[in-house]
Amino acid sequence: MRLILLSGALAAGFIASPALAGDCPGNPDALGTSRTIVVDPAKSPRIGSMSYPQSLPLEPKEVVLTFDDGPLPKYTGPVLETLAHECVKATFFLIGEMAKAYPDWVQREARAGHTIGNHTEHHPRYIDKLPVERGIAEVVDGGRHIEEALAPTGIKMAPFFRFPGFRHTEPLDAYINKQGYVAVGADFPADDWTFIGPETVLKRAMDRLERRGSGILLLHDIHARTATILPKLLRELKARGYKVVQMVPADGAALVAATPAPPAETAAKESAPQHVTTKAALMQTASKEPGTNEAAPKEATTKAALMEAASKTASSRQAALKETPAKDAASKGPDPKQAQADSAPRHRHTASLRHIHRSTRQAAVKISTRSMRDTPD
Protein backbone atom coordinates (compact mmCIF):
# COMPACT_ATOMS: atom_id res chain seq x y z
CA MET A 1 0.00 0.00 0.00
CA ARG A 2 1.13 3.57 0.20
CA LEU A 3 2.53 5.83 2.83
CA ILE A 4 0.74 9.14 3.15
CA LEU A 5 2.86 12.26 3.50
CA LEU A 6 0.77 14.81 5.34
CA SER A 7 1.15 18.57 5.29
CA GLY A 8 3.12 19.84 8.28
CA ALA A 9 0.76 22.76 8.56
CA LEU A 10 -2.02 20.53 9.87
CA ALA A 11 -2.04 20.89 13.63
CA ALA A 12 -5.18 18.93 14.48
CA GLY A 13 -6.75 15.64 13.50
CA PHE A 14 -9.84 17.27 12.02
CA ILE A 15 -10.08 20.58 10.20
CA ALA A 16 -13.46 21.87 9.11
CA SER A 17 -13.26 23.85 5.89
CA PRO A 18 -15.66 26.67 5.02
CA ALA A 19 -19.14 25.63 3.91
CA LEU A 20 -19.48 24.85 0.23
CA ALA A 21 -21.04 27.75 -1.63
CA GLY A 22 -23.25 27.98 -4.68
CA ASP A 23 -26.72 26.88 -5.62
CA CYS A 24 -27.51 23.40 -6.86
CA PRO A 25 -28.17 23.63 -10.62
CA GLY A 26 -31.78 22.82 -11.41
CA ASN A 27 -32.73 22.20 -7.79
CA PRO A 28 -32.90 25.35 -5.67
CA ASP A 29 -34.37 23.33 -2.80
CA ALA A 30 -31.53 20.80 -2.76
CA LEU A 31 -30.13 19.44 0.47
CA GLY A 32 -26.59 20.25 -0.62
CA THR A 33 -23.33 19.63 1.20
CA SER A 34 -22.90 22.07 4.05
CA ARG A 35 -19.16 21.67 4.56
CA THR A 36 -16.21 19.30 4.40
CA ILE A 37 -14.30 17.87 7.32
CA VAL A 38 -10.65 17.02 6.76
CA VAL A 39 -9.41 13.88 8.50
CA ASP A 40 -5.71 13.67 9.31
CA PRO A 41 -4.51 10.06 9.59
CA ALA A 42 -1.59 11.12 11.77
CA LYS A 43 -3.84 12.58 14.44
CA SER A 44 -7.00 10.50 14.23
CA PRO A 45 -6.10 7.09 12.80
CA ARG A 46 -9.29 5.27 13.86
CA ILE A 47 -12.81 6.66 13.83
CA GLY A 48 -16.39 5.38 13.99
CA SER A 49 -18.13 4.51 17.25
CA MET A 50 -19.29 1.10 16.02
CA SER A 51 -15.65 0.03 16.06
CA TYR A 52 -13.56 2.58 17.96
CA PRO A 53 -13.87 4.97 20.91
CA GLN A 54 -13.48 8.06 18.70
CA SER A 55 -15.62 9.37 15.86
CA LEU A 56 -15.85 12.55 13.82
CA PRO A 57 -16.39 15.76 15.81
CA LEU A 58 -19.64 16.59 14.07
CA GLU A 59 -22.06 19.26 15.18
CA PRO A 60 -25.63 18.30 16.12
CA LYS A 61 -27.72 17.33 13.07
CA GLU A 62 -24.69 16.69 10.86
CA VAL A 63 -24.38 13.40 8.97
CA VAL A 64 -21.66 11.85 6.81
CA LEU A 65 -22.95 9.51 4.08
CA THR A 66 -20.84 6.46 3.20
CA PHE A 67 -21.52 3.73 0.62
CA ASP A 68 -19.76 0.37 0.57
CA ASP A 69 -18.99 -2.48 -1.82
CA GLY A 70 -19.41 -0.94 -5.26
CA PRO A 71 -19.33 0.09 -7.91
CA LEU A 72 -22.17 -1.96 -9.37
CA PRO A 73 -23.63 -0.04 -12.33
CA LYS A 74 -27.24 -1.13 -11.92
CA TYR A 75 -27.50 0.55 -8.52
CA THR A 76 -24.45 2.82 -8.34
CA GLY A 77 -25.88 4.72 -11.31
CA PRO A 78 -29.15 5.72 -9.61
CA VAL A 79 -27.30 6.49 -6.37
CA LEU A 80 -24.97 8.88 -8.18
CA GLU A 81 -27.90 10.50 -9.99
CA THR A 82 -29.73 11.09 -6.71
CA LEU A 83 -26.66 12.55 -5.02
CA ALA A 84 -26.06 14.83 -8.02
CA HIS A 85 -29.67 16.02 -8.02
CA GLU A 86 -29.36 17.02 -4.35
CA CYS A 87 -25.75 18.27 -4.72
CA VAL A 88 -24.69 15.91 -1.93
CA LYS A 89 -21.19 14.49 -1.64
CA ALA A 90 -20.48 11.12 -0.05
CA THR A 91 -17.64 8.67 0.58
CA PHE A 92 -17.52 5.44 -1.43
CA PHE A 93 -15.54 2.52 0.00
CA LEU A 94 -14.79 0.37 -3.03
CA ILE A 95 -13.98 -3.29 -3.48
CA GLY A 96 -10.79 -3.64 -5.54
CA GLU A 97 -12.30 -6.35 -7.74
CA MET A 98 -15.29 -4.16 -8.49
CA ALA A 99 -13.05 -1.18 -9.28
CA LYS A 100 -11.06 -3.35 -11.68
CA ALA A 101 -14.25 -4.58 -13.35
CA TYR A 102 -15.88 -1.14 -13.62
CA PRO A 103 -13.16 1.53 -13.75
CA ASP A 104 -15.43 3.94 -15.62
CA TRP A 105 -17.80 3.99 -12.67
CA VAL A 106 -14.97 4.63 -10.24
CA GLN A 107 -13.99 7.57 -12.40
CA ARG A 108 -17.57 8.88 -12.46
CA GLU A 109 -17.67 8.84 -8.67
CA ALA A 110 -14.38 10.68 -8.40
CA ARG A 111 -15.16 13.25 -11.08
CA ALA A 112 -18.47 13.97 -9.35
CA GLY A 113 -16.46 15.08 -6.33
CA HIS A 114 -17.08 12.12 -4.04
CA THR A 115 -14.39 10.73 -1.76
CA ILE A 116 -13.00 7.31 -2.71
CA GLY A 117 -11.73 4.88 -0.08
CA ASN A 118 -10.46 1.29 0.12
CA HIS A 119 -12.63 -1.64 1.28
CA THR A 120 -10.25 -4.55 0.44
CA GLU A 121 -9.85 -6.54 -2.75
CA HIS A 122 -12.49 -9.26 -2.28
CA HIS A 123 -14.41 -8.32 0.88
CA PRO A 124 -13.41 -11.41 2.90
CA ARG A 125 -16.21 -12.12 5.31
CA TYR A 126 -13.93 -12.97 8.22
CA ILE A 127 -10.85 -10.87 7.58
CA ASP A 128 -10.13 -11.02 11.31
CA LYS A 129 -9.77 -14.81 11.03
CA LEU A 130 -7.35 -14.74 8.11
CA PRO A 131 -3.57 -14.93 8.54
CA VAL A 132 -2.24 -11.39 8.85
CA GLU A 133 -0.37 -11.62 5.55
CA ARG A 134 -3.60 -12.46 3.73
CA GLY A 135 -5.35 -9.53 5.37
CA ILE A 136 -2.51 -7.27 4.28
CA ALA A 137 -2.77 -8.62 0.73
CA GLU A 138 -6.46 -7.65 0.73
CA VAL A 139 -5.55 -4.08 1.67
CA VAL A 140 -2.68 -3.84 -0.82
CA ASP A 141 -4.48 -5.38 -3.78
CA GLY A 142 -7.68 -3.44 -3.17
CA GLY A 143 -5.83 -0.15 -3.01
CA ARG A 144 -3.84 -0.96 -6.13
CA HIS A 145 -6.88 -1.73 -8.25
CA ILE A 146 -8.73 1.35 -7.01
CA GLU A 147 -5.73 3.54 -7.82
CA GLU A 148 -5.43 1.99 -11.26
CA ALA A 149 -9.10 2.70 -11.94
CA LEU A 150 -8.67 6.30 -10.79
CA ALA A 151 -5.47 6.93 -12.74
CA PRO A 152 -7.11 8.48 -15.86
CA THR A 153 -8.75 11.14 -13.66
CA GLY A 154 -5.58 12.27 -11.90
CA ILE A 155 -7.57 11.99 -8.66
CA LYS A 156 -6.02 10.03 -5.80
CA MET A 157 -7.71 7.54 -3.56
CA ALA A 158 -8.25 8.98 -0.08
CA PRO A 159 -6.24 7.38 2.75
CA PHE A 160 -9.46 5.94 4.19
CA PHE A 161 -9.91 2.22 4.80
CA ARG A 162 -12.99 0.35 6.02
CA PHE A 163 -12.79 -3.23 7.29
CA PRO A 164 -15.32 -5.69 5.84
CA GLY A 165 -17.95 -6.29 8.49
CA PHE A 166 -15.94 -3.92 10.73
CA ARG A 167 -13.97 -7.02 11.75
CA HIS A 168 -10.73 -5.26 12.57
CA THR A 169 -7.81 -6.65 14.55
CA GLU A 170 -5.02 -4.84 16.32
CA PRO A 171 -2.32 -6.14 13.91
CA LEU A 172 -4.34 -5.04 10.87
CA ASP A 173 -5.26 -1.73 12.50
CA ALA A 174 -1.57 -1.15 13.16
CA TYR A 175 -0.67 -2.08 9.58
CA ILE A 176 -3.11 0.23 7.85
CA ASN A 177 -2.29 3.09 10.22
CA LYS A 178 1.41 2.59 9.48
CA GLN A 179 0.61 2.91 5.77
CA GLY A 180 -1.08 6.25 6.42
CA TYR A 181 -4.70 5.12 6.32
CA VAL A 182 -7.48 6.20 8.62
CA ALA A 183 -9.50 3.18 9.75
CA VAL A 184 -13.05 4.42 9.14
CA GLY A 185 -15.94 2.67 10.83
CA ALA A 186 -19.45 4.10 11.14
CA ASP A 187 -21.74 5.36 13.87
CA PHE A 188 -24.98 3.73 12.76
CA PRO A 189 -26.26 1.47 9.95
CA ALA A 190 -29.50 1.37 8.01
CA ASP A 191 -29.46 -2.44 7.66
CA ASP A 192 -29.83 -2.10 3.90
CA TRP A 193 -27.87 -5.33 3.35
CA THR A 194 -30.66 -7.38 4.98
CA PHE A 195 -33.93 -8.68 3.57
CA ILE A 196 -36.07 -5.76 4.66
CA GLY A 197 -38.18 -3.39 2.61
CA PRO A 198 -37.00 0.04 1.47
CA GLU A 199 -39.31 1.86 3.86
CA THR A 200 -37.90 -0.12 6.78
CA VAL A 201 -34.40 0.83 5.70
CA LEU A 202 -35.43 4.48 5.65
CA LYS A 203 -37.09 4.27 9.05
CA ARG A 204 -34.12 2.57 10.68
CA ALA A 205 -31.70 5.11 9.25
CA MET A 206 -33.72 8.08 10.49
CA ASP A 207 -34.61 6.56 13.87
CA ARG A 208 -30.98 5.80 14.63
CA LEU A 209 -29.82 9.20 13.43
CA GLU A 210 -32.43 10.88 15.58
CA ARG A 211 -31.24 8.94 18.62
CA ARG A 212 -27.59 9.83 18.00
CA GLY A 213 -28.17 13.36 16.75
CA SER A 214 -25.29 13.13 14.24
CA GLY A 215 -22.80 10.63 12.85
CA ILE A 216 -21.45 8.50 10.01
CA LEU A 217 -24.18 6.53 8.22
CA LEU A 218 -23.40 3.15 6.66
CA LEU A 219 -25.14 2.41 3.34
CA HIS A 220 -24.39 0.24 0.28
CA ASP A 221 -24.61 1.21 -3.38
CA ILE A 222 -25.08 -2.39 -4.53
CA HIS A 223 -28.70 -2.93 -3.44
CA ALA A 224 -31.98 -1.94 -5.06
CA ARG A 225 -33.51 -0.96 -1.72
CA THR A 226 -30.74 1.56 -1.10
CA ALA A 227 -31.11 3.19 -4.51
CA THR A 228 -34.87 3.24 -4.01
CA ILE A 229 -34.93 4.98 -0.64
CA LEU A 230 -32.03 7.40 -1.17
CA PRO A 231 -34.15 10.23 -2.67
CA LYS A 232 -36.59 9.96 0.25
CA LEU A 233 -33.75 9.77 2.76
CA LEU A 234 -32.14 12.96 1.50
CA ARG A 235 -35.47 14.80 1.45
CA GLU A 236 -36.21 13.58 4.97
CA LEU A 237 -32.81 14.79 6.16
CA LYS A 238 -33.56 18.24 4.79
CA ALA A 239 -37.07 18.29 6.22
CA ARG A 240 -35.75 17.49 9.69
CA GLY A 241 -33.00 20.08 9.55
CA TYR A 242 -29.99 17.79 9.02
CA LYS A 243 -26.92 18.81 7.06
CA VAL A 244 -24.54 16.63 5.07
CA VAL A 245 -20.81 16.87 5.73
CA GLN A 246 -18.26 15.36 3.35
CA MET A 247 -15.23 13.58 4.77
CA VAL A 248 -12.04 14.41 2.83
CA PRO A 249 -8.31 13.71 3.24
CA ALA A 250 -5.66 16.20 4.27
CA ASP A 251 -4.63 18.74 1.64
CA GLY A 252 -1.35 18.04 -0.08
CA ALA A 253 -1.20 14.35 0.81
CA ALA A 254 1.12 12.48 -1.56
CA LEU A 255 1.10 8.74 -2.21
CA VAL A 256 4.56 7.18 -2.23
CA ALA A 257 6.50 4.02 -1.40
CA ALA A 258 4.28 1.14 -2.40
CA THR A 259 4.37 -1.78 0.01
CA PRO A 260 5.12 -5.09 -1.76
CA ALA A 261 2.43 -7.75 -1.79
CA PRO A 262 2.99 -11.07 0.06
CA PRO A 263 5.14 -13.74 -1.66
CA ALA A 264 3.66 -15.40 -4.73
CA GLU A 265 3.46 -18.74 -2.98
CA THR A 266 1.15 -17.19 -0.39
CA ALA A 267 -1.09 -15.76 -3.09
CA ALA A 268 -1.19 -19.11 -4.85
CA LYS A 269 -2.46 -20.81 -1.72
CA GLU A 270 -5.30 -18.31 -1.51
CA SER A 271 -6.68 -19.15 -4.95
CA ALA A 272 -8.89 -22.11 -5.66
CA PRO A 273 -9.77 -23.52 -9.11
CA GLN A 274 -13.34 -22.38 -8.55
CA HIS A 275 -12.10 -18.80 -8.48
CA VAL A 276 -11.41 -19.18 -12.20
CA THR A 277 -14.56 -21.09 -13.11
CA THR A 278 -17.24 -19.55 -10.93
CA LYS A 279 -16.55 -15.80 -10.88
CA ALA A 280 -19.48 -15.25 -13.11
CA ALA A 281 -22.36 -13.39 -14.37
CA LEU A 282 -22.29 -10.71 -11.70
CA MET A 283 -20.35 -8.47 -14.05
CA GLN A 284 -22.09 -9.83 -17.14
CA THR A 285 -25.57 -9.51 -15.68
CA ALA A 286 -25.02 -6.06 -14.23
CA SER A 287 -23.62 -4.81 -17.54
CA LYS A 288 -26.83 -5.86 -19.32
CA GLU A 289 -29.21 -4.09 -16.96
CA PRO A 290 -31.41 -1.34 -18.41
CA GLY A 291 -29.69 2.01 -18.42
CA THR A 292 -26.24 0.44 -18.16
CA ASN A 293 -23.89 0.51 -21.12
CA GLU A 294 -20.85 -0.78 -19.29
CA ALA A 295 -19.57 -4.06 -20.73
CA ALA A 296 -17.90 -6.41 -18.28
CA PRO A 297 -14.21 -7.09 -18.98
CA LYS A 298 -13.38 -10.45 -20.50
CA GLU A 299 -11.74 -11.65 -17.30
CA ALA A 300 -14.95 -10.96 -15.44
CA THR A 301 -17.32 -12.67 -17.83
CA THR A 302 -16.92 -15.93 -15.96
CA LYS A 303 -17.94 -14.40 -12.63
CA ALA A 304 -20.92 -16.63 -12.56
CA ALA A 305 -24.34 -16.94 -11.17
CA LEU A 306 -22.77 -17.27 -7.77
CA MET A 307 -25.16 -14.79 -6.25
CA GLU A 308 -28.12 -16.22 -8.10
CA ALA A 309 -27.31 -19.73 -6.94
CA ALA A 310 -26.69 -18.56 -3.39
CA SER A 311 -29.93 -16.62 -3.24
CA LYS A 312 -32.04 -19.57 -4.35
CA THR A 313 -32.13 -22.72 -2.28
CA ALA A 314 -29.78 -24.32 0.20
CA SER A 315 -29.54 -27.33 -2.04
CA SER A 316 -28.36 -25.26 -4.97
CA ARG A 317 -25.71 -23.68 -2.78
CA GLN A 318 -24.57 -27.12 -1.72
CA ALA A 319 -24.38 -28.23 -5.32
CA ALA A 320 -22.17 -25.25 -6.15
CA LEU A 321 -19.93 -25.92 -3.19
CA LYS A 322 -19.47 -29.57 -4.24
CA GLU A 323 -17.56 -28.35 -7.25
CA THR A 324 -14.88 -26.68 -5.14
CA PRO A 325 -11.69 -28.29 -3.93
CA ALA A 326 -13.16 -28.13 -0.45
CA LYS A 327 -15.06 -31.35 -1.14
CA ASP A 328 -11.88 -33.34 -0.61
CA ALA A 329 -11.30 -31.72 2.75
CA ALA A 330 -14.93 -32.22 3.67
CA SER A 331 -14.62 -35.95 3.15
CA LYS A 332 -11.85 -36.02 5.72
CA GLY A 333 -13.84 -34.23 8.36
CA PRO A 334 -14.67 -30.64 9.30
CA ASP A 335 -12.00 -27.96 9.03
CA PRO A 336 -11.30 -26.64 12.56
CA LYS A 337 -10.38 -23.19 11.24
CA GLN A 338 -13.57 -22.95 9.21
CA ALA A 339 -15.61 -24.13 12.17
CA GLN A 340 -14.04 -21.39 14.25
CA ALA A 341 -14.91 -18.80 11.60
CA ASP A 342 -18.47 -20.04 11.30
CA SER A 343 -18.94 -19.85 15.06
CA ALA A 344 -17.42 -16.39 15.37
CA PRO A 345 -19.56 -14.11 17.51
CA ARG A 346 -21.61 -11.48 15.76
CA HIS A 347 -20.57 -7.94 16.31
CA ARG A 348 -23.05 -5.70 18.05
CA HIS A 349 -23.94 -3.94 14.79
CA THR A 350 -25.13 -7.23 13.27
CA ALA A 351 -27.67 -7.90 16.00
CA SER A 352 -30.53 -7.03 13.67
CA LEU A 353 -29.69 -9.93 11.35
CA ARG A 354 -31.78 -13.04 11.95
CA HIS A 355 -29.68 -15.13 9.58
CA ILE A 356 -26.19 -14.56 8.24
CA HIS A 357 -25.48 -15.78 4.73
CA ARG A 358 -23.85 -19.21 5.15
CA SER A 359 -21.66 -19.13 2.09
CA THR A 360 -18.49 -17.58 3.50
CA ARG A 361 -16.81 -14.87 1.47
CA GLN A 362 -13.25 -16.17 1.19
CA ALA A 363 -10.47 -13.83 0.12
CA ALA A 364 -9.70 -14.10 -3.62
CA VAL A 365 -12.82 -16.16 -4.36
CA LYS A 366 -15.72 -14.03 -5.47
CA ILE A 367 -17.49 -10.72 -5.74
CA SER A 368 -20.76 -10.49 -3.84
CA THR A 369 -23.54 -7.97 -4.22
CA ARG A 370 -24.89 -9.14 -0.89
CA SER A 371 -28.47 -9.35 -2.13
CA MET A 372 -28.68 -11.96 0.60
CA ARG A 373 -28.47 -11.38 4.33
CA ASP A 374 -24.83 -10.87 5.07
CA THR A 375 -22.33 -8.77 6.95
CA PRO A 376 -23.22 -5.08 7.37
CA ASP A 377 -20.55 -3.71 5.11
Give the pLDDT means over successive 10-residue stretches in the chain (377 positions): 37 43 83 96 93 96 98 98 98 98 98 98 95 96 98 96 96 96 97 96 98 98 97 98 96 47 40 34 36 38 38 41 41 44 36 33 39 51
**Which H or E element spans position 161?**
strand 160-161
Residue 18: its pLDDT value, please?
35
Question: Which pLDDT does position 368 carry in this prediction?
Answer: 45
Which pLDDT score is estimated for 234?
A: 98
Instruction: For the beta carbon of residue 273, count every other beta carbon within 10 angstroms.
Output: 10
Q: Which residues of 324-359 are buried (b: 16+ CB within 10 A; e: fewer)?
A: beeeeeeeeeeeeebeebeeeeeeebbeebeebbeb
Structural domains in the chain plus CATH codes: 3-256 (3.20.20.370)
Please state the pTM of the whole predicted model: 0.69
Instruction: Specify the pLDDT at position 251.
Output: 73
Spell out a b/e string for 31-50, using b for 16 or more CB atoms within 10 Å of the CB, else e.
bbbbebbbbbbeebbbbbbb
Whether the CB-CB separation of 63 and 242 falls below 8 Å is answered with yes
How many Cβ atoms sit within 10 Å of the Cβ of residue 108?
A: 18
Of the candidates 33, 21, 42, the one whose C-alpha atom is nearest the C-alpha of residue 63 is 33
